[in-house]
Structures are given as C-alpha cells and as structure tokens.
C-alpha cells in the first residue's frame, strides 16, 4: 500500500512529534508500505522520508518548483517529482496513494487531509483517510468536528469515515480493513 502522509514542514515544539514520526516511518518501511509525501527534507516531512529510507522503503516526493528551494527538496528519495503548482502536487499525491494519513502539521496539513476527506465524501475516491494523533495534537480539532456534526453541518456517516488512532500499528490495520461509506449524494 502506498500511503500519502501529510505533515509539517517544521518539527513543532515537542520532541515527541519527531520521535513518533520516525517510528511511524520505520513501521511503514518494515511492513512494506511506500511513502508518498510533499517532497521536502525539513521538519516532519524530512523526518518521515528519512525514516522510511533508513529501513529500505520506497519514498515518492512531490514538490512544487516554487517550494523546492524553500522546503529544500529531498534529493535522496526514491523518486522526486518537481511540479508546477500545489494543485498538481496534490493531484499527483492522490493518484499515487492508496490511503491518506495526517501527522502533526499546520494549515497546509489540514488543507491536504481535508481535501482528501472531501473527495472521499463526494465519491471521487474510496481510499481511507486517517489521523495518527500524536500526544493529543488533534484533540481540539476532533472536538470541533463533533460540534460540526451536532450542528448539522457534517453527517455522522462522514464523520465516521475518519480513522483516528494513536497507535501506528492499529492505524495501519484499520487502513487495510477500511470499507468506504456511501458518498454524500447517494
């Protein structure tokens, strides 16, 4: 399974994020999963790529030309694709991925995982969408999603699409066992 991982181009303030990101990368490679990610060599992006590579895994990086120098494109990955725009980046990552996972990150991480989730709701793909919640990083976001559901802006079936785990092994098991719900318009 090729897994698109969305995460920060910074490492965050807590060492836990880099430690758990590295561990997740090792697990991905050991279990034979390929990594598809944003192509940078800094922050958690670089950490996950390096961890997969350390264990002999396959890493596909996709980075827009405008960010290649700013995010320091990772030239040591198995494949580095330099594209023209963020739209092209996300489209290529989605096409190469069998599943989507968010690790800690900023608004770009949220935008990417939410777009994948939206596409799933609308039936554009039937791939699993997950959060590996390290140290409760996404606790407040999940509470807000529950609030959206309570207020009638998010259907329960689509809220339940999200796989949320703190254990990377359980997350991978759930990715494999995922059954997509009906899309929003069925």
Which pLDDT score is estimated for 182? 73
Cα–Cα distance, 71 to 41 (Å, whole number): 7
Global pTM value: 0.95
Write the pLDDT tens digit of every residue in 18-73: 999 999 999 999 999 999 999 999 999 999 999 999 999 999 999 999 888 776 88
Given CA atoms 35, 133, 23, 65 in this order, what sign does their dihedral have?
positive
Which pLDDT score is estimated for 184? 63
Secondary structure (3-state) at 171: helix
Residue among 126, 122, 114, 125 at smallest CA distance from 183 = 122
Which pLDDT score is estimated for 25? 98
Q: Is 64 exposed, middle or buried (0-12, 13-18, 19+ CB in 10 A)?
A: buried
Write the pLDDT tens digit of every residue in 58-77: 999 999 998 887 768 899 99
Which pLDDT score is estimated for 154? 95
Write the pLDDT tens digit of every residue in 137-184: 999 999 999 999 999 999 999 999 999 999 999 999 999 999 998 766
Q: How far is CA 163 from CA 18, 102, 124, 158, in A?
A: 21, 10, 18, 11
What fold characterizes domain 2-175?
A: Rossmann fold (3.40.50)
């Amino acid at each position: 399974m090729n897994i698109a991982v969305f995460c920060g181009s910074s490492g965050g303030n807590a060492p836990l994020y880099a430690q758990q990101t590295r561990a997740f990368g090792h697990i991905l490679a050991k279990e034979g999963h390929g990594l598809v990610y944003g192509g940078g060599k800094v922050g958690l992006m670089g950490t996950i790529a390096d961890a997969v590579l350390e264990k002999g895994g396959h890493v596909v990086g996709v980075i827009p030309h405008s960010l290649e120098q700013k995010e320091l494109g990772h030239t040591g990955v198995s494949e580095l694709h330099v594209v023209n725009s963020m739209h092209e980046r996300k489209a290529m990552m989605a096409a190469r991925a069998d599943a989507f996972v968010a690790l800690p990150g900023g608004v770009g991480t949220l935008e990417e995982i939410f777009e994948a989730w939206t596409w799933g709701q609308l039936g554009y793909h039937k791939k699993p969408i997950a959060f590996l919640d390290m140290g409760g990083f996404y606790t407040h976001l999940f509470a807000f999603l529950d609030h959206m559901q309570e207020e009638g802006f998010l259907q329960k079936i689509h809220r339940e699409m999200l796989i949320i785990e703190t254990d990377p092994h359980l997350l991978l098991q759930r990715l494999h066992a995922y059954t997509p719900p009906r899309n929003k318009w069925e």
